[in-house]
Amino acid sequence: MKLHKSIPCFILLLLSFSGCTVLENLDELTTLGQYSREKDAQHVLVKSIDDHYDALAKGIDQGTMGHYENEGSFVKAFGDPLVKKDLADGRQRWLYRHAIYRLSKDKVYVYFDKNGQVIKWEKLPCPKFF
């Protein structure tokens, strides 16, 4: 009978300690919440990159790439590239592919001259690294 009366007291004791634990770890809990919100933003960014790449690959497959003659039209239609690399004579090479490399089947390089006009593009398979 005495054990029966001590159980509620024990539960109250545990609950009082758990409140202190939450307050002591508030910084850590806040950081975990921020990570969760950042992860949501990352998912939105990955989807945007993937959607832009899919539109670019579709344009290449359908032969409509002649509509995009310069850097501005490419960015407007397909977003910013994942990588811009400066080449000789002021030219640039832009890389488009899916955001997550291991999910990419192929990639597209777009080459621009020093005036920002499209020189060429090429669609290549992505080598698998595993």
8 A C-beta contact, residue 29 and residue 22: yes
**pTM of the complete model beyond 0.75:** no
Q: Provide the domain limits for residue 22.
A: 2-125
Q: List, in sequence order, every residue forming a beta bridge with 7; answer none if it has no partner.
A: none
pLDDT on residue 127: 79
Q: Can you tell me the distance from the alpha carbon of 88 to that of 86, in angstroms, rounded to the nearest whole number?
A: 7
> What's the number of domains the chain is made of?
1
From first to last of its 130 residues, the chain has per-residue pLDDT tens of 455 556 555 655 555 555 555 556 666 666 666 666 777 888 888 899 999 999 999 999 999 998 899 999 999 999 999 999 999 889 999 999 998 887 788 999 999 999 999 999 999 988 776 5
130 domain residue, yes or no = no
Amino acid in position 51: D
